[in-house]
Structure 1
Amino acid sequence: MTDQLDRLDRAILGVLQREGRIATVELAERVGLSPTATGERLRRLQKEGIIAGFGARLDPHRLGLGLLVFVEVSLDKTTPDIFARFAAAVRRAPEVLECHMVAGGFDYLVKTRVADMPAYRRFLGEVLLSLPGVTETRTYAVMEEVKSDGILPL
């Protein structure tokens, strides 16, 4: 799909990743297109699913969610049924920001944000360890976020 993106599409996407609320007129000026052509490209990029949506980036510390934690999760069995049950349950857990099935010494990598270590302990005991098939976890509390802008390289 990315081979179908030209220089102007990439320029539009680059600006939108950093400034999602930019007006179409200003975006058009920045990328060197007319507002009409820019609007058409935006609609196409959304229709094709390249632009998946728009949202605000929130400061987790100001919202009382200062502890970022990554958790390795191992399951008791690696069968399609267990994978499906685990995935369905983790999708319903609002505390889970991201969950990725991985290759290697464990099955899933979970990313969560909580207020502090007691809140993480509650999350671990009440949510994570109760998910289907979970037999073991390893926790990595983040001491410093070095980079977390989420900007994709175009």
Structure 2
Amino acid sequence: MQAKNIIRTLLARTDIGVLATSGPEGPLSSLMAYVAIGPDCLIMATLPGTRKWRNITADPRLAFLVDDRDTAESRSAVQALTLGGRHEPPSPAERQAGLALLGQRHPHLAGLLAAPDVACIRLRVASYLLLRGPSEAVFLTDLTD
């Protein structure tokens, strides 16, 4: 299916997006660098004292938006992908491996990733909403062919 390939391509070609969280202090959106560990798992990092992390620990449901507005031929051709899922705390080995991959993809995060208490956000994706242009939408819960 073409939509599945577009989703995989968007996740591979982009490495920054907007994370949406919600918690006792209300909703929050945060611009985040990420690395994809396959199409159903993203890794991000934050510090534990942030509102973002408080929201995640209070309510692990997350949404994440990526798009191709920087490379699209026109505004009417922009594709946007919203991933819905949950934060699933990684094991110590998964945390170490995920943060190492994040650091390789985003060397500018070296200071953050060196913090001993850096929090690893692992988004386990449950749904994909692909918007192509202003009116075409495809909703999927599985990317296997």
TM score, norm. by length of structure 1: 0.26
- Max Rg structure: 1
More helix, by proportion:
1
More strand, by proportion:
2
